Amino acid sequence: MSCCGLLTVQKQPVPLKSIEVQLEVRDHVATVVSTLNYENKEDKPLEAVFVFPLPGDAAVCHFSATIGQTQIVAEVKEKQQAREEYDDALSSGQQAFLLEESEQSPDIFSLSVGSLPPGESASIRLEYVIELAVQADDGLRFCLPAVLNPRYEPQGSEGASVQVTSVPASLVPYSLSFSARVSSPRPVSKVESSCSLDPLQYLNTEQTQATVKLAAGHKFDRDVELLIYYKDAHQPTAVVEAGQASAKPGTLMGDPVVMLSLYPEFPQSVMSSVSSCGEFVFLMDRSGSMGSRMNNSESHQTRISSARDTLLLLLKSLPMGCYFNIYSFGDSYKHLFRKSVKYNQKTMEEALKKVEVMDANLGGTEILKPLKHIYSQPCIPSQPRQLFVFTDGEVSNTKDVINLVKKNSGSHRCFSFGIGEGSSSALINGLAKEGGGHAQFITGTDRMQPKVMQSLQFALQPAVVDISVTWDLPKGVSVTALSPPITTLFQGQRSLIYAQLTGQVGASSDAAEGCVTVKYSLAGHPSQNQLHFSLKPEEDTGLTVHRLGARTLIRSLEMEEREHRGQQDGGVKEKVVELSVQSGVSSSFTAFIAVNKGNNEPIRGPLVRRDVPTADSKMFSRIGCYLKGQSASSQSNSKQTSAFPNKSSHIHTATHRLFSVHTLFDFSSEASSSRDADTEPKQPLRDPLLQLVSLQEASGRWVLDPALAAALGKTSEEVEKTKPALVNQEVWATILALIWLHGFKMNAKEEWELLANKAVSWLCAQNAPCVAECVEAGNTLLGCAVQRDVLGL
């Protein structure tokens, strides 16, 4: 049956008609202005509620509403007070608007548009600022989340309130227009996107300013991801921003704030001399949603399939002598070994057999329990623990998970991977930030492998310790850090520092300079990096740096409040509320509230509620595989999460997703070893690179056999006949594999570089004769021209 008009799943009219987004990027900071246009075409007054995602580290700093010719600018107030004002306004027939952050996850917001009269239109303006994350290829990533996935609520969590209504993305009944302006001290080399863009337009001959927008006809059916590339991106920079003229000197908003962007460069001698070791723990999401495709294409891999391929590469790339274990989780969790085991041929083969049959069949997303179990395991002396977390990030208890990682950050580094669209940026970024690691997002047509292998290279870098930041400023200028202390440094990775500058900043002379020194110890070697910067404040920065600094401090205080909750500490929540109100930046304890008091005519008639649906591009693939539902006779023990508890007037029951029960594969080594031994992989490895990689042994060598010949595209006879006489079979096989990688797969070098290095180390240890002859014969056989020195031999 087809219905006319713009409808929700419940066949109700949708009041949200369009969204316009303008992005302003300055170097590596972005300001985002979203305008949401509502229209009430019904004959009754309307309340519209829209639950939607924002980037987890965004600082929401402006919220206003325009009705007819009247503009109402919202104020930041303590959350309960704002809710009461909103409810009071609605009950007295006034128009009101409420914007609040979820208490469980800082990347979910609820916007309530109250008492919109029949025939009336309202335009909502929402503004936030955000730092852009640096990707593996030095691109700066901006993501406008369109997809809000249902968040799995752990068993035993407290009750529900505002729910997420999702519709298939193709049926989202509102349009999107999106444009971006990019400016930087360095030339903009290119802008890429997962969506179709109009050509990049440069605004000056230096190419330091450019505009770009989405191509016409874009459907808001997936996240809008922009990757911005600058020339010479790794230059440290400093921005000093003048305080707000109306704010009191000595306060955060009244004083200048500096933002430092640092790129530490480690001494090459130290980096090359470090021996590889560590305990590598891989934690893999096997909830039902991991069975979804990586993007909307039916031909594309599922998330769990891509994760299996990635684990293969990781296991082949680990250094000999390290320790490892694999955990997987859904409703419950499994571990491959009782405790981490030494990496060798036997343990690697045992792990690969289990990885081949991993499936997305473990139900919900209970990530806290396996994390607690991992942290309960004693660390292995001289083997630093490195935790790799793979998830599509659909959990509701984000803050609890991040808090647990932070508590254990002294004993490990955590590398996180958000798989597919809609993964929680708050969870993925929070895990890496608090765990001293690195976050990566794998969306659209991205291959997971290059990003994961880059993180493995970071994990193999020695841990940087004894990090300190010292300031050298002119007399009369003092500094107050707004950022938490730096706990992690990686070669070439950016670190951002915010600080408040008090005193006569830049007043004495335009040439006044400050200097910041970062000292640290790397593998026992003391090192330092310095940055000199001008103290003259930049003009017309729109308080972006102040708001990001305030957001950084608010997040640190919120974390502190959670740690001390229930203790007689107090005062931290009050500090957050005070800072949030002063800076105009949202927090988990405040909300934006706007009431239209100018219209004296109360709105007549009962208020009708409409929940605006959010895009879920995987809804149909999730039905039957996402959450445990409830039949008429059985009680459900999991549900779609509440993002906004304690808001009694805003209760909505969403459509249930049902979970078809699979036979759960037991991933523990004891229970599954007997029946897994004969289990065939679900499908053969078709990718030639993965086929070759799967044949490499833990030591780094390859064995000469028919499988290797097939992977190289040759017969066994061809491979054996061309082998130089004095060379043993393993040396010949390994040299052939290296030539093939360099000759045919240079475009994927970041995926195989570590395992190739292992192969070279093994070859060098053999001290084999006739290596030059082998390389020449191998090139002839495979039709390549790879030089011996390129192979590292």
pLDDT in tens, 469-494: 999 999 889 999 999 888 778 776 78
Question: What single string gives the DSSP state of each residue in 91-143?
Answer: HTT-EEEEEEE-SS-TTEEEEEEEEE-TT-EEEEEEEEEEEPEE-TTSPEEEE
The whole-number pLDDT of residue 338 equals 92
Q: Name residue 177's amino acid.
A: S
Share of the chain above pLDDT 90, in %: 32
* Mean pLDDT, residues 460-476: 87
The whole-number pLDDT of residue 545 equals 92
pLDDT in tens, 323-354: 999 999 988 899 999 999 999 999 999 999 99
Helix axis angle, 368-376 to 398-407, nearest 10°? 10
How many Å apart are CA 130 and CA 57, to the nearest integer?
7
* Mean pLDDT, residues 757-779: 89
How many Å apart are CA 161 and CA 642, to the nearest integer?
5
How many Å apart are CA 588 and CA 78, to the nearest integer?
9
The whole-number pLDDT of residue 507 equals 56
Range in 288-297, 495-504, 764-773 the model is least confident about: 288-297
Share of the chain above pLDDT 70, in %: 78
For 770, how many CA atoms within 13 A lie in the half-sphere containing its CB? 14
- Cβ count within 10 A of residue 592: 25
The whole-number pLDDT of residue 748 equals 86
pLDDT at 3 over 80: no
How many Å apart are CA 786 and CA 96, to the nearest integer?
70
What are 677's two structure tokens?
A: 């031994």
| Model confidence band, residue 636 (pLDDT cutoffs 50, 70, 90) | very low
* Mean pLDDT, residues 42-68: 82
pLDDT at 362 over 80: yes
pLDDT in tens, 125-168: 999 999 988 876 788 889 887 655 444 444 444 433 344 455 55
| Model confidence band, residue 686 (pLDDT cutoffs 50, 70, 90) | low
The whole-number pLDDT of residue 292 equals 82
The whole-number pLDDT of residue 747 equals 87
Sequence ranges of the chain with CATH classification 2.60.40: 16-149+163-232+584-612
For 37, how many CA atoms within 13 A lie in the half-sphere containing its CB? 11
Sequence ranges of the chain with CATH classification 3.40.50.410: 277-460
Range in 399-413, 479-493, 563-577, 721-735 the model is least confident about: 563-577
Question: How many residues are given for the chain?
Answer: 793
DSSP 156: T
pLDDT in tens, 213-268: 988 777 666 778 889 999 877 778 888 999 888 889 899 999 999 999 888 777 77
Could you tell me if 757 and 779 are in contact, meaning their C-beta atoms sit under 8 angstroms apart? no
- Cβ count within 10 A of residue 544: 21
Q: Which comes out higher in pLDDT, residue 657 or 406?
A: 406
How many Å apart are CA 653 and CA 648, to the nearest integer?
13
How many Å apart are CA 141 and CA 192, to the nearest integer?
10
Q: Look at domain 16-149+163-232+584-612 and name its CATH class.
A: mainly beta
Given strand 59-67, what is the order of strands in its sheet?
Answer: 70-73, 59-67, 121-131, 29-39, 16-26, 175-183, 209-213, 201-202
Which of the given ranges, 272-281, 414-423, 615-624, 726-735, has the highest pLDDT on average?
Answer: 726-735
The CATH code that applies to domain 277-460 is 3.40.50.410
| Model confidence band, residue 7 (pLDDT cutoffs 50, 70, 90) | very low
CA angle 67, 68, 74 (to 5 degrees): 25
* Mean pLDDT, residues 284-305: 78
The whole-number pLDDT of residue 300 equals 67
The whole-number pLDDT of residue 46 equals 78
pLDDT in tens, 418-447: 887 767 788 888 898 888 888 888 876 667
The whole-number pLDDT of residue 150 equals 44
* Mean pLDDT, residues 642-669: 32
The whole-number pLDDT of residue 587 equals 92
| Model confidence band, residue 618 (pLDDT cutoffs 50, 70, 90) | very low
Q: Name residue 459's amino acid.
A: A
